[in-house]
Amino acid sequence: MPPRCLPLLLHIRSYTTPSSKPIVHIPSNSSIYAFGSPARSRTPLIHDISWTVREGDAWAVVSGSGSGGGGKGAVFKTLLGHTRIAPPTQGAQAAWAHAGGLYPFLSSPSESVDPYTKIALVSFRQRSSGGGSGAFFDYTARYGALWEAEDRVTLRGSLGDLTAEKKPFFEELTSRMGLEDLLDLPLLALSNGQTRRARIVKAILDEPEVLLLDEPLTGLDPPSRSALTAVLAHLHEASSPRIRVIIGLRKGEHIPAWVTHVLEVGDGRAVVRSPGLYYQGVGGGVGGLRKEGEKMGEQVGKAEIRRGRIGEVLVDMKGVNVSYRERKVLQNINWQIRQGERWHLQGANGSGKTTLLALLTGDHPQSYTQRHLLLPSFSPSSSSSCSSTNSSPSASPSSPSTTPSDTPNQTSETNTKLAPAHTLQPRKRTPTAHLRRLIGVVSPEMFDAFPRRHPGMSVWEAVGTGFDGGFVPRTRGAARALGTKEGGKGDKGGQGGVGWVDVSDEEVDLALASGLEGVKLEGVDLKGKEGKDGLEDEDEERREEVRKCLREWRVERCWEVLSALGPAAYAPAPSPSPSPSSPSPSPSPSPSSPSSSLSPTPALSPSSQPYPTPQTIAFARTPFTSLAPGEQRLVLLMRALVGRPPIVLLDEVWSGMDGGMVRAARAYLRGEGESTDEPGEEVEGGGAKGGEKEGQGMRGVDETQAVVVITHWEEEVPWEGEEVRRFKLG
C-alpha cells in the first residue's frame, strides 16, 4: 500500500467554514461520575478535569498507569454521553449548558440536534457479541460453512449503499486500507485485523462529526498500521468530509505524528500534555511494557534450556492445510510445540494465525480432516498421581506422555513427582472437551464471545470457568458449603461464590483415570483396595477425598491468579475500597465472610502480605460485567492460566490493558514475583539452590507448559532473545 495521498477526501464535499465554537468542552475543574451515583457521595471516575478541543486540534487520549483500564474508557464514555459531567459550581454548570454543553459546535439556536447522533466510536472490541444481548455467541461459526443469511452479509454489503458521489472515495479508501480484495467475502470470515480496518472504513464512510477510535492500531500488522495512520492524517487535514478524530492509546504506545495534544488519564485525574513532553515521560517499548534498564527474560527461558527442561511434545502437526473453496489459507504447515517452549506466532493480518490456533483448540472443523495433527488428550491408561507440589494442575495435568506405555502404575512414592497424565492423540480421537481443559486461551474472539448475561457473574466465577474451559460458572454448591444465606437468585454462591469451585463427578473420574497432580492427597489410595469388604463404600470415600483435594487446589489456584493479576498487583490501594477507576460497586469485604477456604498458603503471596488481601477479596466478588474492558481482559487471562493447562495461547493479550496491568501480567508470566520473594537461585543441573519452592508460587507458567503468543509487536512478547522461538506464517 504506497503512501499516496487521498485527494478525493478533500473534494467530496464543498468546504464549510469551521465553527469558531470549541468542538469539545468540559469546564475547568469538573468531575465526571458514573450515571446513578449521587454527586457528593461517590468517588468520581475523573476529578478536576478541564478539557477543550478546538477545530484543527488532533487529540490522543492516553491511559496512564493506575487507571485500572478505565482511564481513556471513562473519557470515551463521557464523549458518548454515558457519564455525568459535574462542573464545580452551579454557576459554571449553567454557563456551560448555555454555551452548548459538551459539544458547543453542534449547538444551534435554530435547530435542535442530538449531538450524540453525530459521534461514532470504533473500539478495539472486534465484533458485536450475541447481538448485544450478552449471551454467548459462537465465535467458531466463521471457520465452517456460513449458513445463516446474516452470516453471509459481505463486507461490501455491510458498508451500506453508496451514492455516485461517494463511490470514488469508497474505492480510494478501501484500496488504501487493503480491503479491496476482501469486499465480496462474508463479513464474518474476515480476520481480526481485516475486521478492524473494515469497521474504521465504515465509520469514516458514515461521516460522523467526531470519530472516536479506541486503540485503532492494536492488532494491525505494520503495513496496515502505516496505511491507517496516513489515512487518519489526511482525514485530520481534510476539510471535507470534516471528521474530527480522537484516538485512544495505551501509555507508551506510539503516538502518530499528526497528533497535536495528549490527554493523559490515570488515577482518577486527567492531565493535558503536548506529545513532545509526553514522549519524554514514557519509558521505552510498546505500551509502557518495559521498565527502564530492564533486560527481559534472563531468568526463565535460558535457565530452563540449560537445565534441559524443554520437554515432551505437546502438539505435532505435519502437512497441515486449510482452505475455503479456492481460497487457501494454510498450506503444508509443519510445527511441533514442546513443554517449556515460548513461541511467537507471527504473520500479517489474514495470514492464518487465528486459523492455526483454531486447529489446536479443535474449534476449526477442518482440524478433523488433517492427516497428521496430534493434540494432547487425557490418557485413560495412565495411572493416577498426586503431587505434593503446588505448581502443577489438578484436573488439567501438565506433564504429557507421548505414549501411554510411558506411564506404568505408580506407587504413592512416585506421586510426589510430576506424573504423566495425558498423551498425544490424533485430533479425530481427541474429545474437544479435553482440549478445552488442556489449552488455556485468551483471544479477541474469546473476549467478544465470553457471556456477559449470566446474572451477576462474579470475577471469581469467571476465573473458575477456566478449569474446564467452559463459559458457565461452577459455584453451584457454594452457598450451602460456605454456609452463607446470601445465595439468592443469580448469586448461587452467595458473595459471587467466592471461595468455592464445584468439581463434577466427571472430573473426579478423569482425575482417577488420568492423573491428579499438584494436589496434596496424602493417604488417598487412588487405586482402591481390591479384595476388601465394603469396596463400594471405600470407592465413594476415595472419590470424595479426590473431589475435596481437587477443590482445595482449585480454590488455591484462584486466589493465586487473583492476587498475582488483580488490583493488588496492578493498582495497589492502601485501603480495600475500590479504586476510582473501577466503576464497579464492589462490596467491601466483611471480616466474617471469608471461610477457611479463603485463607490459602500465605507463602504464595506476591508481597510479604498473606493473601488474599481484602482488596483481592472485594475484587473477586465484583460483577465481571461491571469491570472496565481492560480489567475484563485481565480476568480472562486469569481464566486461561488458573488450571495450569499444558498449552497457553495468548492472542493480542494486552489490548485494552493499561501499563500497570501489562507489567503485572508480564511479571507473573515470567515468574518475577517468584524470584523476588523466594530467592531459589537457579543452578545448572536442575533444581534451585536454597529454593524448595522453585517453580512454585507466583509463576504464571512453568517449565511443563508451552506458551504461544500472537502479536505484531515483538516487544509485546513477555520473553525475548533465545528463549523465544518464532513461527512465521507467510
Ligand X SMILES: Nc1ncnc2c1ncn2[C@@H]1O[C@H](COP(=O)(O)OP(=O)(O)OP(=O)(O)O)[C@@H](O)[C@H]1O
Residue found under cell 479426590:
546
User: DSSP readout, 584-653?
Assistant: S-PPPPPTT---GGG---GGG-SSSS-SS-HHHHHHHHSBGGGS-HHHHHHHHHHHHHTT--SEEEEEST
Which one among 63, 67, 354, 582 touches ligand X, defined by CB under 6 A? Answer: 354
Q: Residues 700, 641: contact at Cβ < 8 Å?
A: yes
Please report, as residue ranges, which positions from 152 to 171 form the binding site for ligand X (by CB under 6 A): none
Residue 357 Cβ vs ligand X, minimum distance, rounded to whole Å: 8
Q: Is 201 in the site for ligand X (CB under 6 A)?
A: no
Q: Is 353 in the site for ligand X (CB under 6 A)?
A: yes
Please report, as residue ranges, which positions from 577 to 596 form the binding site for ligand X (by CB under 6 A): none
Strand order in the sheet with 439-442: 439-442, 647-651, 706-710, 342-346, 724-728
Residue 360 Cβ vs ligand X, minimum distance, rounded to whole Å: 12
Helix 167-176 and helix 222-237, axial crossing angle in degrees, nearest 10: 140
CB-CB neighbours of 602 under 10 Å = 10
Q: Quick one: 21 or 202, whose CB is closer to ligand X? A: 202
Residues 497-516, one symbol each (x = binds ligand X by CB under 6 A, - = not), give --------------------
Q: Which residues contact 545 (CB under 8 A, 6 or more apart)?
A: 521, 524
Strand partners, 378: 422
Q: Quick one: 224 or 475, whose CB is closer to ligand X? A: 224
In 264-381, which residue ranges form alpha helices assigned H by DSSP?
275-281, 300-306, 353-360
Give kind and range of the element (H or E) at residue 213.
strand 210-214
Determine if residue 589 is left, alpha or beta; phi over 0 gives left, psi from -120 to 50 gives alpha, anything else beta: beta
Residue 690 Cβ vs ligand X, minimum distance, rounded to whole Å: 45
Of 725, 605, 606, 17, nearest to 301 by C-alpha is 725
Of 336, 341, 337, 335, nearest to 310 by C-alpha is 341
Q: Is 189 in the site for ligand X (CB under 6 A)?
A: yes
Residue 189 Cβ vs ligand X, minimum distance, rounded to whole Å: 3
Return the range that interacts with ligand X (CB under 6 A); candidates 119-127, 268-276, 349-357, 447-455: 349-357
> How many residues sit in the footprint of ligand X (CB under 6 A)?
19
Residue 669 Cβ vs ligand X, minimum distance, rounded to whole Å: 21
Please report, as residue ranges, which positions from 15 to 34 form the binding site for ligand X (by CB under 6 A): none
Residue found under cell 450515571:
35
Q: Residues 201, 179: contact at Cβ < 8 Å?
A: yes
Residue 329 Cβ vs ligand X, minimum distance, rounded to whole Å: 4
User: DSSP readout, 105-161?
Assistant: GG--SSS---GGGGEEEE-S--S--GGGT-----TTGGGS---STGGG-BHHHHT--
Residue 701 Cβ vs ligand X, minimum distance, rounded to whole Å: 22
28 three-class SS: strand
Distance CA 643, CA 396 (A): 6
Q: Quick one: 193 or 456, whose CB is closer to ligand X? A: 193
Q: Quick one: 270 or 322, whose CB is closer to ligand X? A: 322
Which one among 349, 366, 597, 696 touches ligand X, defined by CB under 6 A? Answer: 349
Which one among 67, 123, 192, 622 touches ligand X, defined by CB under 6 A? Answer: 192
Q: Quick one: 262 or 710, whose CB is closer to ligand X? A: 710
Which one among 78, 83, 126, 194 touches ligand X, defined by CB under 6 A? Answer: 194
Residue nearest to ligand X (CB): 193
Show the cell assigned to 649. Answer: 495461547
Q: Is 178 in the site for ligand X (CB under 6 A)?
A: no
Q: Is 407 in the site for ligand X (CB under 6 A)?
A: no
Q: What is the DSSP letter of 497?
A: G
Residues 356-375, one symbol each (x = binds ligand X by CB under 6 A, - = not), give --------------------
Terminal C-alpha separation, the chain: 17
Which one among 126, 174, 191, 705 touches ligand X, defined by CB under 6 A? Answer: 191
97 three-class SS: helix
Q: Quick one: 75 or 348, whose CB is closer to ligand X? A: 348
Residue 369 Cβ vs ligand X, minimum distance, rounded to whole Å: 15
Residues 316-345, one symbol each (x = binds ligand X by CB under 6 A, - = not), give --------x--x-x----------------
Which one among 23, 61, 190, 688 touches ligand X, defined by CB under 6 A? Answer: 190
Q: Quick one: 116 or 335, whose CB is closer to ligand X? A: 335
Show the cell assigned to 470. Answer: 467452559
Q: What is the 3 state secondary structure string of 661-722? A: HHHHHHHHHHCHHHHHHCCCEECCCCCEECCCCCCCCCCCCCCCCEEEEECCCHHHCCCCHH
Return the range that interacts with ligand X (CB under 6 A); candidates 192-200, 454-462, 585-593, 691-699: 192-200
Residue 335 Cβ vs ligand X, minimum distance, rounded to whole Å: 15
Of 77, 62, 121, nearest to 243 by C-alpha is 121
Return the range that interacts with ligand X (CB under 6 A); candidates 5-13, 85-93, 189-197, 302-310: 189-197
Residue 201 Cβ vs ligand X, minimum distance, rounded to whole Å: 15
Q: Is 142 in the site for ligand X (CB under 6 A)?
A: yes
- Per CB under 6 A, residues contacting ligand X are 142, 185, 189-194, 324, 327, 329, 347, 349-355
